[in-house]
Amino acid sequence: MDLKPISLSCILILWLPLSALSQVGCAYSLRLYDSFGDGWNEGFLTVTIDNKSENYTFEDGNIREISLFVIEGDSLSISFTPGFFAFEASFSVFNAEGTEIFYSGQDPPQGEVFRTIITCPPCPNLLLNGVSISQIRHDRARLSWIPNDTNGDYLIRIGNTGTDPAEMPEVRVNQSFQYQLNGLEEDRRYDVYLQAVCSDGDTSGQIGPFTFQTLLGKDVGIADLINPVSDCDLPADASIAVVLKNYGGAPQTLIPFNYSVNGVPGAVNQPNDGFFTGILSFDSTFTISFDATYDFSDPEPYRLKIWTELEGDNNPANDTFSTVIIHTPLIQQFPYSMDFEAGAGGWMIDESESSRPSLELGTPDGNVIQSANGGLNAWVTNLDGDHNNNERSVLLSPCFDFSQLEKDPELSFFLWVSTESTFDGIWVEMSVGGGAWTKVGKSGNTGTFWYNTVDDIYGDWWSGNNLFGGWRQVRHPLTGLAGQSDVRIRFVFRSDEAVVREGIGIDDIFIAPILESNLSALEVAGVSGSDCGSENTEIVLTFRNEGVAPQKNFTLAYQVDDGPVIRENYSANVAPGTSADYTFNATYNTSMPRAYTIRAWTELAGEEFISNDTATWVYSTAGPGLPFLENFESDEIPEDWIIDSDLVIDNGHNSGSYVLFDNLWKDDTLFQAVTPLLGALAADDTLFFSYRFVNFMGFGTSPTILGDGDAFYVEVSEDCGLSFNEVLKIDAGNHQVKNTLTRVAVPLGDYEGQWIKVRFKAVWGNGDFYVDLDNINIRRCPANLGLRASVSQPSGNNNDGSIRIEGTDGIAPYNYTWDNGNRTASQSGLTSGNYAITVADQQGCTDVISVVLESVVSVGERVSRINSIKLAPNPSNGHSILDIEMKNPEDISIFVFDTRGRTLRSFEHRQAASVRRELDLSQFANGVYFIRIMAGNEVQTVRLLKANTR
């Protein structure tokens, strides 16, 4: 047994009153039961021991164990106070030997139900909850317990965790209730057992193990960062102050510590700087600053790491403190305009206030939010997809100094809302001086297009499925902010646990006092009377006089795509603070199915601010495009469908999933649903859908046998729904009688190059049945699913590698089939080897990705054919030197590949005893790369971290 001699120092402590020490103590126990499993529902026991009462209950579960320390001769009484559902409650009382001496039965009566006088065994077991191990250091610990006999002896056994107590050394101590365990090994787990030898010679049972772990002798680290903190206007010579902590068991001194910013070491000149020369006692801290300062004056995030470098510290896990310091820009010049074309401009996601955020800055590429309001960039929840469930995204502004403004400024921005109506939405808040956040404005109050509904939980917000039909400028005064020097604004997006859409977009933020001459374009729209467009679509511009002076006789203009600019004069008077609609005389032909980008703007001579003059709207006459997939799982009527008002989307009547359905009978004889415009079709396109007829009686479990007049039709319109031609009829002659969905395919080759609408129609002839429609799909598979693999290479021969597969094209969600049988997106516990994963999207398009995992060795590790591998510098800014020393000349192949397994560089060396080669990765992004060295049948891989220096 690997133990040092352990010395036990005896220290007497009075745990009990002197009157109690001469008496025998022991432990009785209570066991509380609840037959339903939800606790006692406000019921409780009152336990009185020697005229001292305590209440006991439990809030959840079926059972609770309670230990009671009692003294020989004490009186014990128990009373029951019932709560709700008292018939579920019962309890038992056990004496010190574990024998049940009372059971209440179900539904105990109210009041006292049990009374007895305590009797303890001559030498009872020590109390389990009376044993404690404290003051644990690297070489010692203190053991204490509540005695059962003040005149007795106690046997202590201690050894490595897992050791049989019979093999542990035994120490016998007399009349003492606390002992010092000395001579322990550092960073080791020990088990302790206790047994009493009472004064009458009887022996109690042995209790234990009580397990503890000693500390390391040397274990220090950085516990916290005091300065700097994220703020506005950080200095160019900021001091870095940190908290050193001693996590180990021995006092420490002469502790080196260091820092880096964005991966670049700080200018710390040790030992003159970054060197603690005081005494850091056990579990103590000390705040200390570097002499070397750092320039945090550029508005950007700074990744700051601070660490200790104490020699002999074998626990690196707590050495380093990492954080991100954000220098937020201070805005003092107004008007303020931010279009995000040059970057975030100090706007950022507040990670501390966000949960599962998808809001990101970039170029929108969704099916609904397809572009920024102006330029390329906007903040959008998932630039190319849907937001998350249970999401809270908080977009935080720079700091604003309004101290020079005499009047309150006004906030305006362009907003796109495409959310689940009433359940997901966005609102705006403001904070002064770092204080509480308050909501800006109310719906139906002041402002322009400011909030559209009031939620039961979140209050006033914007919420709706494509609420404005595109980008809409909204505005509201920032009441009470004139003269304030420290103001922050934030946008808060919140979603519930179900139904996702593309969410929200934010662009072109403008903050300014109200100006003399300022026209703004609020929105532009095309009006054709048909979702397929027309040859004479009217262009309507809504604009507003944001200034304090009335305006008239100015120019309004519009342009569609890159076509000619149309300018027309507006002669009517527009009063300050009022809006007007103008329909241009010149119409535009939108009859060709496609998306039209319409820009309209105001032109006012002498205008003081022009950034808000333009409104943009993407007007699509092309429907949702192909591929097309609708499975009704959103539980909402799909956008741009024309559906009979009595049709329902639900997952009832044993449908198995959400379907579009109707109950047809003599009073409801028709089911009709028309898709949006779909196209342009290719020669090999096929329409897939699933349908079902099931009887009303039996609630969907009994299939319907179609009778005379019962039928299901698929019809196609080539003229935007004005007329339809039948392409499929399902009736008693070809209907499959079953209570599950039937999958049907309809070739569309006859409509090559055309745009169509599809009508699904069911008619009633007799009976009473449900008609279900689901899984409507015109498949278009991309060239590939854009599969990407995130890998963690295994170390040596260990099974600690992992792979995660992500699809970026096709229609999510995806199904995964691994060659080892796994069917999830990720897998861990992997060893070296080749892995093939087949991925299928929701419409059945497939792609395969192959991933190679190879064990990674540390640089410099000796292997069988290779004497040494050296790679320096590592991390590097993109230029490193690879040195390989062989035991004997070998053919050597070198490959450089990224985390996706793509080969970036390759080199060959014939019969080389050594290789020295520069690796240039300067043209690649920062991140982790792998260098694979192949010599004969041996393969070794090393990691290289590329991180550009500041």
Question: Is residue 3 one of the residues assigned to a domain?
Answer: no
Pairwise CA distance, residues 21 & 25, whole Å = 9
Tell me the mean pLDDT in the region 463-471.
90
Q: How many domains does the chain contain in total?
A: 8
Other CB atoms within a 10 A radius of the CB of residue 652 amount to 12
For residue 624, the 8-state DSSP code is T
Q: Buried b vs exposed e over 258-279: b needs ≥16 C-beta within 10 Å?
A: bbbbebbebebeeeebbbbeee
Tokens for 331? 């805005």
Pairwise CA distance, residues 560 & 797, whole Å = 63
Residue 294 vs residues 267, 291, 307, 734: alpha-carbon distances, Å: 9, 10, 16, 79
Q: What is the DSSP string of 194-207?
A: EEEE-TTS-BPPPE
Give Rg (Cα) of the chain. 38
Whether 160 and 190 have beta carbons less than 8 Å apart is answered as yes
Q: What is the DSSP string of 719-754?
A: STTS--EEEEEE-TTT----SS-EEEEEE-GGGTT-
For residue 647, the 8-state DSSP code is -
Whether 758 and 626 have beta carbons less than 8 Å apart is answered as no
For residue 166, the 8-state DSSP code is G
Burial (CB < 10 A; 0-12, 13-18, 19+), residue 325, is buried
For residue 167, the 8-state DSSP code is G
Question: Is residue 396 one of the residues assigned to a domain?
Answer: yes
Q: pTM to 2 decimals? A: 0.48
Q: Give the position of tokens 């039709």.
A: 713
Q: Which of 532-541, 570-579, 929-938 has the lowest mean pLDDT?
A: 929-938
- Among the three residues 302, 328, 354, which one is the final residue of a domain in this structure? 328
For residues 653 and 760, membership in a common domain is answered with: yes
Question: Is residue 440 one of the residues assigned to a domain?
Answer: yes
Question: Is residue 96 one of the residues assigned to a domain?
Answer: yes
Residue 22 has pLDDT above 60, yes or no: no
Angle value at C-alpha 280, between 274 and 284, nearest 5 degrees:
115
For residues 937 and 923, membership in a common domain is answered with: yes
Pairwise CA distance, residues 429 & 438, whole Å = 5
pLDDT digits (tens, 9 = 90+) for 764-820: 999 999 999 999 999 988 888 988 888 888 877 788 889 999 888 888 889 999 999
Spatial neighbors of 198 by CB under 8 A, at least 6 apart, are 122, 123, 148, 149, 152, 204
Query: In this structure, what CATH number is given to the domain that contains residue 283?
Result: 2.60.40.10
pLDDT digits (tens, 9 = 90+) for 289-342: 999 889 998 888 899 999 999 999 989 999 999 999 988 889 999 989 999 998
Residue 17 has pLDDT above 60, yes or no: no
Amino acid in the structure at residue 697: M
Q: What is the 3-state secondary structure (H, E, C) of 436-449?
A: CCEECCCCCCCCEC
The closest alpha carbon to 395, from 384, 408, 410, 380, belongs to: 380
3-state class (DSSP) for residue 38: strand
For residues 615 and 545, membership in a common domain is answered with: yes
Tell me the mean pLDDT in the region 377-394.
95
Question: Is residue 860 one of the residues assigned to a domain?
Answer: no
For residues 572 and 558, membership in a common domain is answered with: yes
Residue 48 vs residues 95, 114, 872: alpha-carbon distances, Å: 15, 11, 73
- Among the three residues 161, 182, 213, which one is the final residue of a domain in this structure? 213
**Helix or strand holding residue 911 (H, E):** strand 903-920
Query: In this structure, what CATH number is given to the domain that contains residue 929?
Result: 2.60.40.1930
Residue 760 has pLDDT above 90, yes or no: yes
Question: Is residue 742 one of the residues assigned to a domain?
Answer: yes
Whether 624 and 600 have beta carbons less than 8 Å apart is answered as no
Domain enclosing residue 888, as ranges: 866-946
Other CB atoms within a 10 A radius of the CB of residue 67 amount to 14
pLDDT digits (tens, 9 = 90+) for 634-659: 889 998 899 999 999 999 899 999 99
Whether 947 and 878 have beta carbons less than 8 Å apart is answered as no
Tell me the mean pLDDT in the region 374-381.
92
Question: Is residue 861 one of the residues assigned to a domain?
Answer: no
Residue 24 has pLDDT above 80, yes or no: no
Whether 378 and 338 have beta carbons less than 8 Å apart is answered as no
For residues 468 and 435, membership in a common domain is answered with: yes
Query: In this structure, what CATH number is given to the domain that contains residue 799?
Result: 2.60.40
Q: What is the DSSP string of 304-357?
A: EEEEE--TT---GGGTEEEEEEEEE-EE-SSSEEE--SS--TT-EE-TTT-BS-
Spatial neighbors of 130 by CB under 8 A, at least 6 apart, are 15, 69, 145, 146
Amino acid in the structure at residue 535: E
Amino acid in the structure at residue 824: T
Look at 47 and 466; give whichever has higher pLDDT: 47
Task: Write out the E strands in 129-203.
Answer: 132-134, 141-144, 153-160, 170-174, 178-181, 189-197
For residues 316 and 273, membership in a common domain is answered with: yes
For residues 354 and 492, membership in a common domain is answered with: yes
For residues 803 and 767, membership in a common domain is answered with: no
Pairwise CA distance, residues 521 & 517, whole Å = 14
The closest alpha carbon to 405, from 338, 485, 509, 520, belongs to: 485
Residue 742 vs residues 653, 692, 694, 738, 856: alpha-carbon distances, Å: 16, 6, 12, 8, 52
Whether 90 and 43 have beta carbons less than 8 Å apart is answered as no
Question: Is residue 760 one of the residues assigned to a domain?
Answer: yes
Tokens for 16? 């009990």
For residues 740 and 639, membership in a common domain is answered with: yes
Tell me the mean pLDDT in the region 529-548.
91
Look at 408 and 176; give whichever has higher pLDDT: 408
Tokens for 855? 């064990």
pLDDT band (50, 70, 90) for residue 857: low
Whether residue 627 is preceded by a cis peptide bond, meaning omega within 30 degrees of 0, is yes
**Phi-psi sector, 534: left (phi>0), alpha (psi -120 to 50), beta:** beta
Q: Which of 30-44, 99-113, 852-866 has the lowest mean pLDDT?
A: 852-866
**Helix or strand holding residue 489 (H, E):** strand 487-494
pLDDT digits (tens, 9 = 90+) for 153-175: 999 999 999 999 999 999 999 88
For residues 871 and 815, membership in a common domain is answered with: no
Query: In this structure, what CATH number is given to the domain that contains residue 337?
Result: 2.60.120.200
As a whole number of angstroms, the longest Cα–Cα distance in the chain is: 114
Pairwise CA distance, residues 932 & 926, whole Å = 19
pLDDT band (50, 70, 90) for residue 147: confident
Pairwise CA distance, residues 941 & 795, whole Å = 10
Dihedral angle, C-alpha 475, 447, 521, 416, nearest 10 °: 60
For residue 128, the 8-state DSSP code is G
- Among the three residues 723, 751, 778, which one is the final residue of a domain in this structure? 778
Pairwise CA distance, residues 769 & 256, whole Å = 81
For residues 243 and 287, membership in a common domain is answered with: yes
For residues 353 and 407, membership in a common domain is answered with: yes
Look at 129 and 753; give whichever has higher pLDDT: 753
The closest alpha carbon to 932, from 876, 880, 882, belongs to: 882
Cα 490 to chain centroid distance, Å, stands at 20
